[in-house]
Chains A and B, each alone.
Chain A
Amino acid sequence: MIDLSQTSSQTAQKSSTRKPFSLGKTTLTVVSVLTYMFLYIPIIILVLYSFTTDAFGARLTGFTLSWYEQLWRDQRLMGATLNTLYVAFVSMIVSTIIGTMTALALERFRFRGRAVYDAFLYLPVVIPEIVMALSLLAFFSFAFNLIRQLTGIQLRNGLATVIISHIAFSISFVVIVVRASLRGFDQRMEEAAYDLGANSWQTFWRITFPLILPGIIGGGLLAFTISLDDFIISFFTTGPGTSLLPVEVYSQVKRAVTPKINAISTLMLAVSMTLVVLSQVVQRPRT
């Protein structure tokens, strides 16, 4: 009932600073250096070759910006670039909106079949892209057949089908990123807002949205990047006459690798890297 032995024994813990095993440290350093070399040397070579004067882009014979200039004048390549940016932009906007709403629904509501719905959402991330591409292709031809039979209008694959496919593909990624930020979100913030007189709408826009915005932006940028460099799905779902940058690059490479291809690759690399860095920056936890 009453504890009379009130001895507060505090054992001081001495932190011992042990030297890491130096052979292990050396090994790890070597392995990491090799890994980074393995990852980045090809990319560095690609970037260097985009500036070479050698017409076959196989040797470093001198420095020139002429390939970038030629890019600018290549109608096909520029058209494909614009198409790609357009597709990436639209699919980013749409998939971010749908993905965010889906993430909110999955995190907030308990409904029947939630677990199943949950599992199916991640499927597009893990199934082979070629399967995804073929199934989309099959779906479009089925849908267009149906529409033709019902209305007599014949639709064809084109930018719209690519956009729809990219949206379908990107939603999962957006959901994953937004859900991660919702998990870290303290729901008591919302209760506090209700308590202070805010209704659900006001609470969402004043509290929830600003707090998960980094996650939403991160998800959107990811969707943009994925769309930007997607080859397989774009290749299968695009129509004649509408070309996308990765597909166009591929078809030019089949003929000959010129430093012009290296130049456009370097530009794509720059854009992708900027976006990835950007998405990391906005998702960085505030301190």
Chain B
Amino acid sequence: MNDGIAIELDDIVKSFGDVNAVDHVSMQIRDGEFFSMLGPSGCGKTTTLRMIAGFEFPTSGRLKIHGKEMGNTPPYRRPVNTVFQSYALFPHMTVAQNVAFGLEMKRVPKEQIKERVQKALELVRLPTFGDRYPRQMSGGQQQRVALARALVNEPEVLLLDEPLGALDQKLRKEMQFELKRIQEELGITFIFVTHDQEEALTMSDRIAVMNAGRVLQIGTPTEIYERPNCRFVADFIGESNFIEGTVRASNGQYATIETSDGLEMQGYTEQPVSVGSSVVLSLRPEKARLSTVNGNNSQKHEANTFPAKVERVSYIGSDTRIIVRLASGRTIDVWEQNTRSTLDRDAYWQPGEAAILSCSVENALILTS
């Protein structure tokens, strides 16, 4: 009927005065999908979500929910529910009354309301909290009530605006797991706003990375991390070494670039690049490798191999993070996993040590602009 598309944004613009908070955004969110919007503060995530909920209306463009054009449909006539960042629980109502509110508005019979409220509270693991007031509960518990209050209405799409923003790290992890469990159990479409990349990567089926009102890339967590389509995405999700240069040779998905400091590197590209264009090569620190000068390692025969000197070393437990300096003066970050348990000093890199830096062609991504 609607091709399994829950929400469709078609060239949406939202301006406040002369600022485009949302700037020509198009995306399709599938039924039952856990879809995240990720981006820095002020990039238009909340505004996009509020347009889907109906609190704001697009300046131009079209928005469809399950194939139905929304136009000026008010929030109370849309098959979506929102979990607000601040929870926005009604302070003068008990937890059960809060959860029942949506059903009462829909004139669901009383006995049925009681039953569904109880089921919703069980779903969020608060079955005995119905008679409490929101102020008598912890942040995490209030968060769950907000979730129950939205879910009890069995919305087709649930909108969540940084729902875990106010929780501490441990509770956050717990709630991430809970949210994922509930989403899988109910099969509802979740649109999840966050500016925490790790949260987006662990929870989402697909992620839209936004910046300055625009959607830069939409893809699975793996696609976003392993095949970022531009420097911003590569930089925002995870860490990366960026090496600017000019294309010297191009051969379909592979290209050779030359940097201003005279390095020649080979990299992988999704779209063919033309010779002479300026590009940036992105190398994730965990994908760069460091080997000793006189060891006979096969890595030395990789396409990108450079003599380097270890400059700084920080041991952070699971990893060791190393900054090396190339002959040209350029520094590169390298992360090594500590796979062997030892106190032997020689097993770790020391500042001043000479080394060979290398990376495979596939791990050196060439990004245009």
A197 near B90: Cβ-Cβ < 8 Å: no
The count of residues in chain A whose C-beta lies closer than 8 Å to any C-beta of chain B is: 24
Please tell me if the beta carbons of A2 and B88 are within 8 angstroms of each other in the complex: no
Pair B88/A196 contact, Cβ less than 8 Å? no
8 Å CB interface, A184-214 against B = 186, 188-189, 191-199, 202, 206-207, 210-211
A195 x B91 contact (CB < 8 A) = no
Specify which chain A residues have a CB less than 8 angstroms from the CB of B91 in the assembled complex. Answer: 211, 286
How far does the Cβ of A273 sit from chain B's closest Cβ, in whole Å? 28
- B316 contacts A6, C-beta separation under 8 Å: yes
B323 lies within 8 A of chain A by Cβ:
yes
List which B22-72 residues lie within 8 A (CB) of chain A: 53-55
Partner of A199, one of B76, B81, B316, B321: B76
Of residues 45 to 62 in A, which have CB atoms within 8 Å of B's CB atoms? none
Contact at A196–B81, with CB atoms within 8 Å?
yes
Interface assignment of B306: CB less than 8 Å from any CB of chain A:
no
Roughly how many angstroms separate A195 CA and B150 CA in the complex, as a whole number? 9
How far is B74's CA from A186's CA once the two chains are assembled, in angstroms?
Answer: 20
Decide yes or no whether B312 CB sits under 8 A from chain A.
yes
Closest to A206 in B: B101
CB pair B55 A191 closer than 8 Å: yes
**Given contact pairs A1-B239, A2-B285, A192-B88, A197 touches B102 in the complex (Cβ within 8 A):** yes
Give every chain B residue within 8 A of A6 (Cβ-Cβ): 314, 316
Which residues on A sit within 8 Å (CB–CB) of B135? Answer: 286-287
Q: Which of B76, B239, B312, B321 contacts A197 (CB 8 A)?
A: B76
Q: B82 near A: Cβ within 8 Å?
A: yes
Interchain CB contact under 8 A, B86 and A188: yes
A188 CA / B323 CA spacing, docked (Å): 47
Pair B75/A191 contact, Cβ less than 8 Å:
yes
Instruction: Check if A4 is an interface residue, CB within 8 A of chain B.
Output: yes
Report how many residues on chain B are interfacial, defined by Cβ distance under 8 Å: 35
Say whether, besides A6-B314, A191-B55, A286-B91, A196 and B285 are in contact (CB < 8 Å).
no
CA of A193 to CA of B323, assembled, Å: 53
Q: CB-CB < 8 A to B84: which residues of A? A: 188, 191-192
Q: Does B149 contact A (CB under 8 A)?
A: yes
Min CB distance A110 to B, Å, is 13
User: Which residue from B53, B76, B239 sits with its C-beta under 8 Å from A198?
Assistant: B76
Interface residues of B in 136-150 (CB under 8 A from A): 149-150
Q: Once the chains bind, are B76 and A2 in contact (CB under 8 Å)? A: no
Asked whether, in the complex, the Cβ of B314 is within 8 Å of the Cβ of A192, the reply is no
The residues of A that contact B242 with a CB separation of less than 8 Å are: 1
- 0 or 1 for each of B127-138: is its CB under 8 Å from A? (1 = yes): 000000001000
Q: Give the CA-CA distance A211 to B90 in the complex, in Å.
A: 9
CB neighbours (8 Å) of A192 from chain B are: 82, 84, 88-90
Contact B314 A196 (CB under 8 A): no
CB neighbours (8 Å) of B101 from chain A are 193, 196, 198, 206
Cα distance, A194 to B106, chains bound together (Å)? 12
Q: How far is the CB of B234 from chain A (nearest CB, A)?
A: 11
For A198, list chain B residues within 8 Å (CB): 76, 101, 105
**Interface residue? B170 (CB, 8 A):** no
List of A residues within 8 angstroms of B150 by Cβ:
195-196
B241 at the interface (CB under 8 A from A): yes
From residue A111, how far is it (CB to closest CB) to chain B in Å? Answer: 18
CB distance from A7 to the nearest CB of B (A): 10
Contacts of B102 in A (CB 8 A): 196-197
Report Cα–Cα, A206/B91, bound state, in Å.
Answer: 12
Chain B residues closer than 8 Å to A197, beta-carbon distance = 76, 102, 105-106, 153
**Are A188 and B76 neighbours in the complex by a CB distance under 8 Å?**
no
- The residue on B at minimum CB distance from A188 is B88
Q: State A25–B262 Cα separation when bound (angstroms).
A: 75
**Residue in chain A with minimal CB distance to B321:** A4
Bound complex: CA A197 to CA B81 (Å): 9
> How close is B56's CB to chain A, nearest CB, in angstroms?
11
Q: Which residues of A contact B (CB under 8 A)?
A: 1-2, 4-6, 186, 188-189, 191-199, 202, 206-207, 210-211, 286-287
14 additional contacts (CB under 8 A) given A191-B55, A191-B84 = A1-B239, A1-B242, A5-B314, A6-B314, A188-B88, A193-B101, A194-B54, A194-B74, A196-B81, A196-B149, A198-B101, A206-B101, A207-B90, A287-B135
Q: A-B pairs with the 7 shortest C-beta distances?
A: A196-B102, A197-B105, A192-B88, A194-B75, A188-B88, A4-B314, A2-B333
12 chain-A/chain-B pairs, Cβ below 8 angstroms: A2-B323, A4-B312, A188-B88, A191-B55, A192-B82, A194-B54, A195-B55, A196-B76, A196-B101, A197-B153, A198-B105, A211-B91
